[in-house]
Amino acid sequence: ELKVEQNPLFLSMQEGKNYTIYCNYSTTSDRLYWYRQDPGKSLESLFVLLSNGAVKQEGRLMASLDTKARLSTLHITAAVHDLSATYFCAVEPDSNYQLIWGAGTKLIIKP
Amino acid sequence: DGGITQSPKYLFRKEGQNVTLSCEQNLNHDAMYWYRQDPGQGLRLIYYSQIVNDFQKGDIAEGYSVSREKKESFPLTVTSAQKNPTAFYLCASSIRTSGGEQFFGPGTRLTVL
């Protein structure tokens, strides 16, 4: 069974701290996507990771992909309140075309 | 501006009614998708279409139907057979028929009265 596991599922942290969200998957893939969802809103694409070792950065967020370990990380540096949201990873398996979604990580950043 | 539009934003359904959710894209994307999201949960795939006049069931297709008569449009009908349709419905598209990054519309929130 194809699985994508995110952890933690819920994270409450203080502004200014660093933290990492993990996305593990069970199938072979070298394509992984990170999305952000604000409460009551749709999903917004954050990062597209298309090869082993890919690293993308946008502001205080940095995503990386290790296809050998079947692991992607989303690192938050010096968190600010505006980053509070739910973050989803989605894997595109080599075997088919559909994205397999993680359950999401709800991130709350307290001032 | 290119993008995906969904209408209506909010929809209320009475028991036993069929309702249709609209999804239109002007991105010239080949593939389109419908997802359901329950409160505090992740995304579940209802249906997807890779080309016009063709579509496939996703993980939770029972009680739903779709059509793809035009490349730009992928409407979703929630039938009376769907016993618990209250949810947030998201439409997405991707440029490739074979997967790729998906772009999402703003969503439709359906509530059963």
pLDDT at B78: 96
Give residue-wise pLDDT tens across range A67-101. Answer: 999 999 999 999 999 999 999 999 998 877 789 99
Test A43 with B90 for CB contact under 8 angstroms.
Answer: yes
Test A99 with B99 for CB contact under 8 angstroms.
Answer: yes
Contact B17, B82 (CB under 8 A): no
B1 pLDDT more than 70: no
Q: Sign of the C-alpha dihedral, residues A67, A68, A74, A77?
A: negative
Give residue-wise pLDDT tens across range A26-61. Answer: 988 889 999 999 999 999 999 999 989 999 999 999
Give residue-wise pLDDT tens across range B30-58. Answer: 999 999 999 999 999 999 999 999 999 99
Contact B100, A92 (CB under 8 A): yes
Count of C-beta atoms within a 10 Å radius of residue A96: 12
φ/ψ of residue A81, rounded to 5: -55, -35
**The one-letter amino acid at A61:** L
Confidence of residue B83 (pLDDT cuts 50, 70, 90): confident
Among A97, A105, A107, A108, most B C-beta atoms within 10 A, so best to mutate, is: A97
Contact A108, A84 (CB under 8 A): yes
B2 pLDDT more than 80: no
